[in-house]
Amino acid sequence: MTAESDNRVHIERAGVVRMALPAADAFPLFNAEGERRWVAGWVPCYLYRAGAGVGEGVVFQTTRKGVGTATWTQTRHDPASGGASFVFVYPDHHTAIVDVGVTADGNGRSRASVRYRMTSLSPDADDYVRAFGEAFDSYMGHWEEAIQRHVVEGVPLPGIQRGQSPLQLRSSHPLTVADLADQPSAIRRQAAALLVEGFDRPKGWPDLHAAARELDHVLASGFAFVAVEHDLLLGWIGGLPQYDGRVWELHPLVVRPDRRLRGIGRALVAAFEDEAERRGACTLTLGTDDDSRQTSLAGVDLYSDIPRHIAELRDLGDRHPFLFYRRLGYTVTGVMPDANGPGRPDIYMSRAVRREE
């Protein structure tokens, strides 16, 4: 059905996805967490998560290039009947109700009935909603194919396979880079503690409370990865969107003091870059404070000649982190004078995303 008699375009479509999986294995594929296994670029950012991020009442956001950020609410989660429902809204663009019903199909197979009711929210989105309705049957075909390929056959999705492929470091320690959102509370506590204890110069977060708030903010607004060895957190990195997601800010980054200079920082930055690219970044950026006179930019009148001060930037012997970022390909693009008090600037660095043509 397509209705245009009211103010905006509204479509209702239903289809079936057939899967070579028992219903009990297929049902968990249709929620915020499960879709990570078969939808490339699906990265839910939780605003409210009950338990493992599935269940009625879970609220999360996803970002789609060219459309924006959708806020999703799971309104039904009934493993016994195989039913799951969601409502999502792309502000000023479109909203939809999605109902999924997973049932057994004999011989260890199952089928998901999928129903979409979508309404445009602005004249600009009318065509998008109409086109979605027209392409709905092919979407069902793509879903079937993606589940077969990435879940049944186990072919990895494009992009990094977080938490699955240990990276081999120079030290020959196996290191797993995993999504911080999926980590148990013990790892999250270590991540907050590292923000307090892992920074000396530049200084870190004042206390655990402030650090935990920062961690929640990063997870709610962007993404974060941890480097872990068994149940020990070795370091973590966050990414925050700017300029509608065209720019992603690396914030924060910290490695355990006793594990530095072994390639962990580099591995975390690589994970940040992959994920930011997957989310559509053109530019990767960061600010690295000099609040304790570690560089030639501290304690001087930067306004006298900002380009010259940047061009002549030197480390004063304490190995300020700008050296680390420069090694990884970041360029100083600016400076914020007195960001941390008189004579204590923030150094801005960026790099372009390397795109494979």
Ligand X SMILES: CC(C)(COP(=O)(O)OP(=O)(O)OC[C@H]1O[C@@H](n2cnc3c(N)ncnc32)[C@H](O)[C@@H]1OP(=O)(O)O)[C@@H](O)C(=O)NCCC(=O)NCCS
Reported residue count of the chain is: 357
Q: Judged by CB under 6 A, which of 324, 330, 345, 351 binds ligand X?
A: 324
Per rule CB under 6 A, is residue 239 in the interface with ligand X?
Answer: no
Per rule CB under 6 A, is residue 348 in the interface with ligand X?
Answer: no
87 SS3 class: strand
* Shortest Cβ 104–ligand X spacing (Å): 49
Per rule CB under 6 A, is residue 282 in the interface with ligand X?
Answer: no
What residue has token string 């400076």? 335
* Shortest Cβ 168–ligand X spacing (Å): 14
Instruction: State the number of binding residues for ligand X (CB under 6 A).
Output: 18
Per rule CB under 6 A, is residue 203 in the interface with ligand X?
Answer: no
- What x/- string results for residues 179 through 198 when contact with ligand X is judged by CB under 6 A? -------------------x
* Shortest Cβ 323–ligand X spacing (Å): 3
* Shortest Cβ 76–ligand X spacing (Å): 43
Per rule CB under 6 A, is residue 130 in the interface with ligand X?
Answer: no
Per rule CB under 6 A, is residue 255 in the interface with ligand X?
Answer: yes
Q: Which is nearer to ligand X, 117 or 260 (CB)?
A: 260
Per rule CB under 6 A, is residue 173 in the interface with ligand X?
Answer: no
How remote is the C-alpha of 178 from its chain's centroid?
11
Per rule CB under 6 A, is residue 345 in the interface with ligand X?
Answer: no
Name the burial class of residue 356, with classes exposed (0-12), middle (13-18) and buried (19+) by CB atoms within 10 angstroms of its CB.
exposed
Q: Which is nearer to ligand X, 29 or 254 (CB)?
A: 254
Torsion of the alpha carbons at 270, 276, 282 and 286, rounded to the nearest 10:
-70
* Shortest Cβ 245–ligand X spacing (Å): 21
Closest by CA position to 110, among listed 99, 101, 119, 118: 101
Q: Which is nearer to ligand X, 117 or 262 (CB)?
A: 262
Q: What is the DSSP letter of 157?
A: P
Query: Quick one: the chain helix, strand, coil %, rounded to 5?
Result: 30, 35, 35
Per rule CB under 6 A, is residue 261 in the interface with ligand X?
Answer: yes
* Shortest Cβ 194–ligand X spacing (Å): 8
Q: Which is nearer to ligand X, 98 or 276 (CB)?
A: 276
| Residue 334: C-alpha distances to residues 120, 247, 347, 349 (Å) | 42, 15, 6, 7
Rounded CA-CA distance 32/30 in Å is: 7
Residue least distant from ligand X (Cβ) = 265
Q: Judged by CB under 6 A, which of 53, 133, 239, 321 binds ligand X?
A: 321
Name the segment binding ligand X (CB under 6 A); options: 9-17, 86-94, 182-190, 255-263: 255-263
Burial 270-301 (b: 16+ CB within 10 A, else e): bbbbbbbbbbbbebbbbbbbbbeebbbbbeee
313 SS3 class: coil
Omega of the bond prior to 202 within 30 degrees of 0, cis?
yes
Residues that bind ligand X (CB under 6 A): 198-199, 253-255, 260-266, 288, 319, 321, 323-324, 327
